[in-house]
Structure 1
Amino acid sequence: MPNTKSYIETTPLLNDKQKSVFFDSEIQKSLDNFIELVIKIFDATACSVLASPIQTPIELCQRGSKITLTKDDLKNSSNTTVNINSNILRVVTPINLPSHVQFGWIVFERQSDIAFTEKEKSIFSTLKNGLINQLAQRRRLLEATDNVELQLMISELNKDLVCIKDEHFKIVYANDAFKNMYPENMQNNIIDCTTVENYEDDKAKNFLAQDKIALHCGFSQIVENLCRPNGSSFTADTVKRRFEDRLGNLYILTVSKDITKKEQLINKIEAAQSELDEFTSIASHDLRSPLNAIKRLLEWISDDCKDMLPKEHLENFQLVINRTNRMQVLLEDLLSYSRINGCDGTLANISLDAIYFDIKELLDLPKTLTVNINANNQLITIPVIPFKIVISNLIGNAVKHNDKKNPIIDISLLPDENYYVIEIKDNGPGIEPKYFSLIFKLFQTLQSRDDVEGSGIGLCIAKKHIMNYGGKIEVTSDGKLGSTFTVYWPKK
C-alpha cells in the first residue's frame, strides 16, 4: 500500500493504463460514506469526489448518474453553484487539507427546482470538514505506522543485541541478533520469558540486577561478561532504559554491544604500557648510574691531569665530557618522553606570568634575555605540570637557538572561544619553512650538536603533551626574522 501522505499531500499514485488510484481502504470507506450522506441529505441525483493530480482530475468515488466535467468547471477555488439546465443544479467545492494542499473536489447534482439554502450550505460545509479531518487523521495514523515499521526494520538490522522487557522482566520483543544467540529450536520460546526460569535464585537475582535498577531509576549501564547459550562468553557494554506506552505500562529497552575486541585491544595496550613503564624504571637506574660514574671519572682525571696534558689533549678531554653530558641530557629527555602519558593532569587556575616565574629558575637563561608576557595576568584553567613542560621546552628552544646578543621572547595570550591560544615569538635566526615538518620529530636538530647542545627531543615532547590534551601547535617563520610558535590548548 502506498504511503497515504504521498497521495494526499502531493499527487495520487496512478496506474496509467487502468486510470485508477490506489490508496488506503479506510480512506476509501470514508469517501463512500461521505457520498452516501450527501445523496441522502441533499436529495442528490449524483455525487463524485475527484483527486487533483498534476494533469487530469481523477475520479476517486462516484454514486448516481454520470457527471460530466471540464477543466474550466474546476477552476474556481470556492463553492460554486451552477444551473446546468432547467432541470439540474450542480455544486462544485474544493477539498483543501490543513496543509493548504488541495486534495481535490466534491461535485454533486440535484433537481434545479430545489434551491441550495444557506442552512444546507452550512450542513454541507460541516460534512466536508469532517471528511477532511478523517483524511488528515488517517494520514497521521499511517505515518505513525510507517515510523513503527521503520524503527522495527532498523532494530532488526542492528547487529547489537536489542530486546524489550515488561515490568515483570519478561521479554516482549527481541531483534534477530538477540534471537540468533539461541539455537533454532529455542528462538520461538524467547518471547514471554525472562530467560532465567531455570537459574538458581542467587544467579537469577544477579542476572536481573541491572533490569531492576533500570526499572526503578530509569537507566542503567554496565560493562559485563555475558555467556551465550552455547557456552561461549563475550564482553558487552549494556544500556538499559525504562519507558512507558500510552497506557502507562512500564517497559525496559536493553541494548548490548559486543565490545570483546575493543577490550582485548585495551588489554594489549595496557600490557604494552606496563612493559614500557618497566623498561623506563630499568633504564632510569641501569643506564643513569654507570653514566654518572663515567662522567665523575672523566672529571677526576681532567682535574688531576690538567697541568700535565697538552692543550690539544685537554680540549679532547673536554669534548668527551661534553658528549657525556649530552648523553645524560638525552637519557633524561627520553625518560621524560616515555612518561608523558602518565603525567599528572590535575587542573589549576594560573596565569602565564606565574608559570614563567616558576620555570625560569629551572632554565639556564642568559642575563641579557628579555621576556615580555602579554596576558594581563589573566587566569587560565589548565593541567599545570604538562603545560609547564610545554612552555619550558618552547622557551628553552627559543633561547638555545637564538644568535642575538640580546635575545627577546614575547609570550602572548590571544582571545579565542574554544582554545587558550599562546603565542611564543623570538627574535632568533628563524626557521626555513621547508624544515617545519622536521622540527617536531624525535632527535631532529637543524644545527650541529657540537654547536648547539640539545637532544632534539624538546619540541617533540611539547607537541605530544599538547596533542594528548586535544590541542595543536603551529610554527610560522620566514627563516630570517625569528620564529613564532602558537599553542592551541583546549578550554575544559
Structure 2
Amino acid sequence: MPNVGRYIENILPTDSNFFVDNDIQKNLEHIVELILNVFDATACSIIANSPHGQIELYQYGSKIAISTEALNSEVFNESIIEGNSKSTSNTPLNVNSKMRRVISLIILPSNLKLGWLIFERKSESAFTEKDKTILATIQKNIVNQLLQLNFIFKKEKDAELHSMISELNRDFVFIKDENFKIVYANDVFKNSYPKEMQNKIIGFTTIEHYEEDAATAFLAQDKIALDCGISKTVENLAMPNGMQITVETIKQRFEDKSGKHYILGVCRDIAEKENLISKLQKANSELDEFTSIASHDLKSPLNAIKRLLEWISDDCKDLLPEEHLENFQLVINRTNRMQVLLEDLLSYSRVDRCDSTRSDLSLENVYLEIAECLEIPETVTVHINANDKLLNIPVVPFKTVILNLISNAIKHNDKELGVIHVSLRPSHHYYLIEITDNGPGIDPKYFSLIFKLFQTLRSRDDVEGSGIGLCVAKKLIINYGGKIEVASDGKLGSTFTIFWPKI
C-alpha cells in the first residue's frame, strides 16, 4: 500500500516527512466497508490525484480498470459494464453478469481535486437522489478524516518545534503560574541545579535554593511582571550547582486561552557582554588619560619649541644667509602643522563626548554661526538654499560636520572664483543636505580613502591640513545614525550628501 500520509502532505503541506499512515489507512478501510454494505458493492477503489500521477490509496475486491479519460470527468458518472471472471473469497461473480460502475469526484473545501471514489455494484438500477446524498456524506467523511488527521499532525509538529526551540535555547527559559511556581523549565535551566535537586523544580518556586536576599529579589521581580506586565533586571547569581553568572532577566506576563496568567522568564548569561563593557570602559579611561597627557605634556613643549624657533629666527635674520632663514621658516611651519595636527587629534578623540543637546535651527543660521571660523576668501561664494526650514538637530555635532565639510571645500578649491552650494533636499526619514563645490573634484577610486584618519590627496606643503576633518565629520554622522556619501567625476567639482536622521 502506498504512503498515503506523504501524498496528503503534498495536498495539505506540513513541515515533516512523517504522517500517521496507519490511522489514515484504517479510516479509509472503514469508509470502504460502509460503501460495500450500503451500495451492495463488489469492488471499491479510492484514487488520489497526485501531481505525479494517479495513486491508488485503497482498493478492495476486483481490480477496477479505468481509463484516464473517465477520470477526467468533473461530474458524477455512472455506467453499465460487463462483469468479469475474477472474484474474491467474499464476492463470487458470474461471467455474464452486468455491473453498475460509479465514479465520484472527491473535492476538498478549498475546491482542490483530492481524487476519486470508484466502486462497482451488482444492481443495474441507476442512483437515486437519496443514494447520491448518502454518497456525498461518505465522501465528506473521507475529506473530514484526512483534514482532521492533518490538523492533529500539524499541532503535534508545532508543539514539537516549540519544545525543540526552547530546549536548544542557550538561555534559561521558564514559566511560572500565578503562585510563582514553575510549570515549565528548559534543560539549560534544569541543568543549573544538581541532579538530586532537579525533581524539586516543576511545581516549586525554587526560592528555597537561594539566600534570603536573592529569593526576596526574585519574588519582587515576579510580582512586578505579574502586576505591570514586564520586568527587567541585571543580577549576579550564585546558581544552585555552584556556578557564578551575571544574567539579564526579562519576565513577561501572558495568559492562556482560559485567561489564566503566567510569567515567561528568560535569563541570558551576559558575562561576556559585561567583560566587553569593562574592557571598553578601561579603553575609554586610557584614552581620556592620553587626551589629558596630549593636551598638556605635548602641547606645552611644542609651544616652547615654536617660540624658541621664532626668537632665533628674529635674532639671526640679519646674520644668517637667505637659505638658512628659509630652512628656519620651514621648521616653524612644520611646528605649526604639528600643533594643528595635535589639536585635530584631540578633537577626534572627544567626538563621542560631544554635547548632544538638540535645538530647532535653520541651515542659514547654522552657516552664519560657523562662518566666522571659516576664514572665507573673497574669491569664494557660499550659497545656502534651505527655504528657512527648521531642523531639529544636536547643535554642536551638526555644526562641526557642516564646518568641516565647507572648510574642506574652501581649502581645496582651485578656481579663480570658487562657488559652494549648501542645499536642503526633501526626504521623509532624513535631513538630506548636499554640499556641492566647483573645485577639482575627487577621483572615484579615492572615495573610501578620503574619510580615513590623516589621509590627504594633496601634499600638505600645497594645502595645509591634518587630513582629519572628513574623518571627524563621518564619525559624528555615523554616531547619530546617519551616513555620508560623495559623488564626483574627478574633474568638475564634488558633492557631499549628508543623511542626518530625523527624530
Q: TM-score, normalised by structure 2?
A: 0.83
Paired position in structure 1 for 2:278: 267
Paired position in structure 2 for 1:8: 8
1:233 and 2:244 are equivalent in the alignment? yes
**Pairing of 1:335-346 with structure 2 (within 5 A):** 335-346=346-357
Question: Per the alignment, in what secondary structure is the counterpart of residue 180 of structure 2?
Answer: coil
1:71 and 2:59 are equivalent in the alignment? no
In structure 2, the CA distance between the partners of 1:183 and 1:350, relative to structure 1 (3 Å rule), is same
1:90 and 2:98 are equivalent in the alignment? no
1:210 and 2:221 are equivalent in the alignment? yes
Q: Distance in 2 between matches of 1:75 and 1:153?
A: 45
1:442 and 2:453 are equivalent in the alignment? yes
Which range moved further: 274-283 or 103-112?
A: 103-112
Paired position in structure 1 for 2:93: none
Which range moved further: 277-286 or 193-202?
A: 193-202
What is the CA deviation profile of residues 415-469 of structure 1, one whole-angstrom value per residue up to 9, with x for unaligned ones?
4444433222223344445544443333333444444332232222222222323
In structure 2, the CA distance between the partners of 1:147 and 1:432, relative to structure 1 (3 Å rule), is closer
**Pairing of 1:139-288 with structure 2 (within 5 A):** 139-199=150-210, 202-288=213-299
1:120 and 2:131 are equivalent in the alignment? yes
In structure 2, the CA distance between the partners of 1:249 and 1:433, relative to structure 1 (3 Å rule), is closer
Question: Per the alignment, in what secondary structure is the counterpart of residue 470 of structure 1?
Answer: coil
**Pairing of 1:277-316 with structure 2 (within 5 A):** 277-292=288-303, 305=315, 312=322
Question: Per the alignment, in what secondary structure is the counterpart of residue 208 of structure 2?
Answer: coil
Conserved 8 A contact 2:209-2:240: no
1:101 and 2:112 are equivalent in the alignment? yes
Q: Distance in 2 between matches of 1:316 and 1:214?
A: 75
In structure 2, the CA distance between the partners of 1:111 and 1:265, relative to structure 1 (3 Å rule), is same
Q: Distance in 1 between matches of 2:4 and 2:43?
A: 27
What is the CA deviation profile of residues 315-351 of structure 1, one whole-angstrom value per residue up to 9, with x for unaligned ones?
6665555444333322221110110111122333322
Conserved 8 A contact 1:169-1:194: yes
Paired position in structure 2 for 1:400: 411
Q: Which residue of the other structure, out of 46, 55, 80, is the alignment partner of 1:49?
A: 46
Paired position in structure 2 for 1:350: 361
Cα offset, 1:114, TM superposition: 5.2
Question: Per the alignment, in what secondary structure is the counterpart of residue 374 of structure 2?
Answer: coil
Unmatched 5+ stretches in structure 2: 13-17, 83-96
Paired position in structure 1 for 2:389: 378
Q: Distance in 1 between matches of 2:3 and 2:35?
A: 28
Cα offset, 1:357, TM superposition: 0.7
1:137 and 2:148 are equivalent in the alignment? yes
1:422 and 2:427 are equivalent in the alignment? no
Paired position in structure 1 for 2:56: 58
Paired position in structure 2 for 1:18: none
What's the RMSD between the two structures over aligned residues? 3.4
What is the CA deviation profile of residues 247-275 of structure 1, one whole-angstrom value per residue up to 9, with x for unaligned ones?
43333322222221121011101111012
Question: Per the alignment, in what secondary structure is the counterpart of residue 98 of structure 1?
Answer: coil
Q: Distance in 1 between matches of 2:463 and 2:339?
A: 15
Question: Per the alignment, in what secondary structure is the counterpart of residue 84 of structure 1?
Answer: strand
Q: Distance in 2 between matches of 1:93 and 1:186?
A: 63
In structure 2, the CA distance between the partners of 1:307 and 1:155, relative to structure 1 (3 Å rule), is closer
Cα offset, 1:231, TM superposition: 2.0
Paired position in structure 1 for 2:27: 30
In structure 2, the CA distance between the partners of 1:236 and 1:203, relative to structure 1 (3 Å rule), is closer
Conserved 8 A contact 1:163-1:173: yes
Q: Distance in 2 between matches of 1:4 and 1:362?
A: 82
In structure 2, the CA distance between the partners of 1:56 and 1:308, relative to structure 1 (3 Å rule), is closer
What is the CA deviation profile of residues 208-260 of structure 1, one whole-angstrom value per residue up to 9, with x for unaligned ones?
33333333333333333233223222222333333333343333322222221
Q: Distance in 1 between matches of 2:366 and 2:6?
A: 66
Unmatched 5+ stretches in structure 1: 13-20
Q: Which AA in structure 1 matches 2:157?
A: D
Which range moved further: 42-51 or 191-200?
A: 42-51
Q: Distance in 2 between matches of 1:55 and 1:429?
A: 71
Conserved 8 A contact 1:4-1:142: no
Conserved 8 A contact 2:24-2:149: yes
Paired position in structure 2 for 1:368: 379
Q: TM-score, normalised by structure 1?
A: 0.84
Count of residue pairs the alignment pairs up: 480
**Percent identity among equivalent residues?**
60
Q: Distance in 1 between matches of 2:425 and 2:259?
A: 55
Conserved 8 A contact 1:9-1:103: no
Q: Which AA in structure 1 matches 2:140?
A: N
Conserved 8 A contact 2:436-2:494: yes
In structure 2, the CA distance between the partners of 1:114 and 1:67, relative to structure 1 (3 Å rule), is farther
In structure 2, the CA distance between the partners of 1:125 and 1:373, relative to structure 1 (3 Å rule), is same
In structure 2, the CA distance between the partners of 1:288 and 1:128, relative to structure 1 (3 Å rule), is same
Q: Distance in 2 between matches of 1:296 and 1:152?
A: 76
Paired position in structure 2 for 1:465: 476
In structure 2, the CA distance between the partners of 1:162 and 1:449, relative to structure 1 (3 Å rule), is same
Q: Which residue of the other structure, out of 424, 443, 448, is the alignment partner of 1:413?
A: 424
Paired position in structure 1 for 2:501: 490
In structure 2, the CA distance between the partners of 1:95 and 1:265, relative to structure 1 (3 Å rule), is same
Question: Per the alignment, in what secondary structure is the counterpart of residue 387 of structure 2?
Answer: coil
